[in-house]
Amino acid sequence: MLERRPIQNGETMFLTTVTRNRQKFFADNAAARIAVEALYTIQHFYPFFLHGFVIMPDHCHFLIRIPEYGSVSKMMGVYKRAVSFNVGRGPLWQSRFDCRMPDNIYATLDYIHGNPVTAGLCEIPEAYPWSSASGKWDIHPYEM
């Protein structure tokens, strides 16, 4: 598989992936849980540092760092296939994902955690269960 992006391994990346036709697959709590748990499952096979995430009804945001030897495209491909298979619905995703190199990691993490509040899904980020802001999920704290 060709890497369509410049090599960005070793850098913190802000990834966004969107469901096909913006369908709200992850409004279903069982599907949202599968999407979160898939992150941790694939992390064993394709290691990465997870600094933060949110699973929204129709898209997901991740703040990650892939080691030098890894591949963001491979990691995302495996993630999307795993979620699709385990949710048992498909096609689930748009074919591509967005990858950005954030200027300010902390502002990006605030944006990720604030997404459910902005969407009216909760009043404070910590109240949204499908986010690293909830404190229910293990993440690797970002260190400069």
Q: Output the tens digit of pLDDT for each of the chain's 144 residues.
A: 334 445 566 789 999 999 999 999 999 999 999 999 999 999 988 899 999 999 999 999 999 998 888 888 899 999 999 999 999 877 899 989 999 999 999 999 999 999 999 999 999 999 999 999 998 887 766 554
pLDDT at 70: 82
Question: If you ran DSSP here, which 8-state letter would residue 69 be given?
Answer: T
Which one, of 17, 23, 54, lies nearest residue 128 by Cα?
A: 54
Tokens 């009804």 sit on residue: 57
CA distance 132 to 121: 15
Are 13 and 100 a contacting pair, CB within 8 Å? Answer: yes
Question: Which domains does the chain possess?
Answer: 12-134 (3.30.70.1290)
pLDDT at 140: 67
Non-local CB neighbours of 31 within 8 Å, separated by 6+ positions: 25, 87, 89
CA separation (Å) from 75 to 5, 80, 110, 120? 13, 9, 24, 30
Residue 142 CB neighbours (<10 A):
15
Output the pTM of the full model.
0.89
